[in-house]
Structure 1
Amino acid sequence: MVRLLPRVLPKGLPEIAKVRIPGVTLPMSRLVIGCDNRDTPAEGAVVWDAWMEAGGNAFDTAFVYGGGKHEAVLGQWIASRGVEDKIVVIAKGAHSPYCTPRAIGAQLEISLGRLGLDRVPIYIMHRDNPDVPVGEFVDAVNRLIEAGTVGIWGGSNWEVSRLAEAQDYAAQKGLVGPAILNNNLSLAVMEKPVWAGCISSNEPGTLGFLRERQVVHLSWSSQARGYFLPEELRNRLPEDTRPETCFGSDRNAERRRRAEELARERGVSANAVALAWVLAQPFPSLALVGPRSPGEIASSLPALKVELSPEEVAWLNLETGDRARGAA
């Protein structure tokens, strides 16, 4: 039986839609909540109960978050609410400097223990290590798939050339290749890496690859760390990772101006338009968000009402000069 707290979100908000991802048993919400900021089960319950109330059932965590504390807190909430068979947990491991084939299985065993789960439907390598032949990573993850502890898998902050190489290797060997890319993808292009080793997917080659192979993309910092918020709200983060520090540029300022223009027409915020842009990509696109309160969940949901045409998607990203005609 699912045990959640009483309803806390305002009525009338759109519900988070769910999609089918090949290899994942449950339909999963197109918005995924990041679980890297809740230090106690009580703190987690307030947000995660509200997340499920909003229709969200996808949770993103990682071996390194909070030195392991955040996986354990999520696991306690899962057990207390009895939702282990109703949610999709995305587990990440093998972060640098422990990005080795040997670390994958060892870390996953620890993560499963913290989470109180027997398996995770989605496993993502948190980083790539180009010094290791990609086939060794494919082999290591496939041993976990064969053992039944992993469903599908992918890579975070991977170059698409390596992802393609891993897919091709798996196809040749009759193995399961990576099906998910977990890079930054936001309407604002990342100009300075938020953290060392981070990669943006908002560049023509990567977007073309995702369209061609229809790779599932799970974007982190999908709203560019608040770059599209009103000016007075943008600088609440540490200076070295503030939105203007990591995303500030003339071209991004124009993207924001266009998002604000469209937002006024649609009666939503520019932040909602930016999130809608991620969801409107011509490949399976999921957006990772990091609300710290039910109120922040509620503020993201209006994006789900914004339907963008392909011409508007291109116009917002400065690929065209006229959204009405789609003309350059």
Structure 2
Amino acid sequence: MKLIEIQGLRQGVSELVMGTDFIGMSGDQGADNEVMDQFVAIGGNTMDSARGYVGGRSEVGIGQWIAARGNRAQVNIFTKGAHPDENGSRMSKAKIREDLYNSLEALQTDYIDLYGLHRDDPSVPVGEILEILNEHLEAGRILTIGGSNWTHQRLEEANRYAAEHGLRGFDFNSPNLSLAKAQDPYWPDCVSLDSEGIAWHTRSGMPLLSWSSLSRGFFTGRFTPEDRSNADLVRVFYNDDNWERYRRAESMAADKGVTTIQIALAYVLNQPFQAGAIIGSRNEAEFKSCLDATQIKLTPEELAWLDLSELNLR
């Protein structure tokens, strides 16, 4: 599996990243271990989690798996903190430290490979945030930092500040990028990449790790324009352009002898910059399907045709 190179890491990031927002949910650590083993078996090496996933139990489950397998050096941990709570923003020195230390304890490790701030708070100056994070980078508790649901404008501002003040800036970004374009945020303050964001990543070269890279099942074939039973999917994705993208992905899949959802995943992985996909697979067959999708090569013209970009060029 292709590796994404991100500054500061000891090894590359597998282009498929395992989403773990269900780890710890069932209370069956053995079953969770089996799923994580299946991911590693296809060549994956990076786990995506967050302090808030399953009330912190996702990180605990990953930590127990790593301890049982003795594979810490072979695994990249991507976890996130500073998500706002019922009291509002938690983008402060004390709250970031609290979340980071709790994550380290839960994961049974003394460092986190990729640390992301789970939401931005634009009212806090980016310089202040970078000063906080650089303390942890210098102490070795974090190897590299990134934004999760940060706009590319804020990332650019942050890295400009870092360059001017001799600090480490953000080395990766984790928004939503998928073939179906979100017309409404999944959750409050979520960021989905649009054409402007894709253009910025192409220019800057900043690596991207996309959550909900498969549009929460939109391309599985389980849904139709007439089926409006999934209210969230209707709210976020149901529009004429996305159904046309679905039809084009379906047509291309038939031509290439693959599945529609594999084409949707290949769209993310074939961007003109380093892009990885956080996947929600939970069994061997789903992991194998995603692995097969990594072998699909799409040309710039095919990417433009899939996401209707060529219509804007006429």
Give the aligned partner of residue 12 of structure 1.
none
Give the aligned partner of residue 32 of structure 1.
17
Matched-pair contact (CA < 8 Å) for 2:4–2:275: no
Give the aligned partner of residue 242 of structure 2.
252
The residue type equivalent to 2:255 in the other structure is: E
Residue 85 of structure 1, aligned match among 57, 69, 73: 73
Distance 2:146 2:167 in 1: 13
Give the aligned partner of residue 9 of structure 1.
none
For 1:231, what is the secondary structure of its paired residue? coil
1:51-90 alignment, distance < 5 Å: 51-90=39-78
Give the aligned partner of residue 35 of structure 2.
47
For 1:192, what is the secondary structure of its paired residue? coil
For 1:264, what is the secondary structure of its paired residue? helix
The residue type equivalent to 1:109 in the other structure is: Y
Q: What is the Cα deviation at residue 158 of structure 1?
A: 0.8
Residue 218 of structure 2, aligned match among 224, 227, 237: 227
Q: What is the Cα deviation at residue 236 of structure 1?
A: 12
Give the aligned partner of residue 272 of structure 1.
262
Q: Deviations over 1:167-195 (max 9, x none)?
A: 00111000000111110000100112111
Residue 275 of structure 2, aligned match among 285, 303, 318: 285
Distance 2:224 2:53 in 1: 25
Distance 2:126 2:6 in 1: 24
**Number of corresponding residues:** 307
* 1:305 to 2:295 alignment: yes
Q: Could you list the runs of 5+ residues in structure 2 that have no partner in the other structure?
A: none
For 2:209, what is the secondary structure of its paired residue? strand
Distance 1:91 1:160 in 2: 20
Computed over aligned residues only, the root mean square deviation of the Cα atoms, in angstroms, reads 2.1
1:1-328 alignment, distance < 5 Å: 16-39=1-24, 40-96=28-84, 97-102=88-93, 103-201=95-193, 203-231=194-222, 239-241=230-232, 243-321=233-311, 328=314
For 2:49, what is the secondary structure of its paired residue? strand
Q: What is the Cα deviation at residue 233 of structure 1?
A: 9.6
- Would the alpha carbon gap of residues 107 and 50 (structure 1) be closer, same or farther in structure 2, given more than 3 Å must change? same
Give 4+ residue runs of structure 1 displaced > 4 Å after superposition. Answer: 232-238
Q: What is the Cα deviation at residue 294 of structure 1?
A: 2.1
TM-score (structure 2 length as normaliser): 0.93
Q: Deviations over 1:148-180 (max 9, x none)?
A: 101111111111111111000111000000111
The residue type equivalent to 1:41 in the other structure is: Q
